Every structure is written in C-alpha cells, then in structure tokens.
C-alpha cells in the first residue's frame, strides 16, 4: 500500500512528525509534485494543480481491480478500503468463489462456478 499526493516529501515528513493521525500511517507516502501519476490515473485536477481524492486497488499482477474517486470535500472510509482488500485477497485465494456485498473475513463466500472471477 502506498499513498501519493502532490505534496513534497518534506510535507509528508512534517505531517508524520506533527499529526497524530498521519503519524500512524504504516505505509509509504510518495510525492508527485508534477502530477504525472495523477494524470496517468485520471485524478489530476488542472484547475487546482492537485489530485482528486482517489484510491486504486491493484492486484499482484498489476491489474486495477477497484477504483474510487471522490470530490475534495468528501473523505474516504479506511475500514471499507481494508474490507475490500481482504475480499479481493479471499477471492484470489479461492477460485470459483465470490465475496458478496458487505462480505468480511469469516463470512461465507458464494460459489460462482467460474474460476476466473476478478482476473480480467
């Protein structure tokens, strides 16, 4: 997992040093001040020079499995992100099974009869 923003690595360092929330982020924070990554993923906002709030779940094969892009005033739900990652991992580990809406680890999966679900 990695976060990417247009802020410089100096800003990220200061956030980790001064914010009780950001200090707990257990993954790397990358800097994209030119917006190259934001443009590649379609979240660059040329009017503001910033990226829109977006998240992309990319599987080990490099395939984007999920995308969420929100407007600036709306925050993301980290618990839902983690649930979705766990569901994608469970589906990948159990060919022919699917994680229904709201699925959480320990919940039953459903049989799809297809072994290629999630591999497009």
Nearest to 95 by CA among 116, 109, 110: 116
Q: Kindly list the domain boundaries of the chain, sorted by start residue.
A: 1-75, 77-112
Question: Is there a contact between 80 and 51 (Cβ–Cβ < 8 Å)?
Answer: no
Cβ atoms of 91 and 98 within 8 Å: the answer is: yes
Q: Candidates 3.40.190.10, 3.40.30.10, 2.170.130.10, 3.60.15.10; correct CATH number of 1-75?
A: 3.40.30.10
The 10 Å CB-count burial string (b at 16+, else e) for 1-24 is eeebbbbeeeebeebeeeeeeeee
pLDDT of 24 reads 66
- The predicted structure's pLDDT at residue 114: 61
pTM of the model: 0.73
In tens digits, the chain (120 residues) has pLDDT values of 787 887 777 776 777 777 666 666 677 778 888 889 999 999 998 898 888 888 899 999 999 999 999 887 888 788 888 899 999 999 999 999 999 999 999 999 999 876 555 554
Tokens for 10?
A: 């100096």
């Amino acid at each position: 997992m990695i976060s990417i923003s247009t802020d410089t690595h100096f800003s990220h360092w200061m956030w980790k040093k001064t914010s009780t929330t950001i200090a707990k982020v257990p993954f790397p924070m990358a800097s994209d001040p030119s917006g190259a990554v934001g443009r590649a993923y379609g979240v660059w906002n040329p009017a503001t020079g910033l990226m829109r709030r977006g998240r992309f779940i990319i599987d080990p094969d490099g395939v984007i499995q999920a995308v969420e892009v929100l407007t600036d005033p709306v925050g993301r739900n980290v618990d839902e992100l983690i649930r979705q990652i766990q569901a994608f991992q469970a589906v990948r580990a159990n060919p022919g099974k699917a994680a229904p809406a709201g699925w959480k680890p320990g919940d039953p999966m459903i049989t799809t009869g297809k072994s290629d679900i999630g591999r497009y």
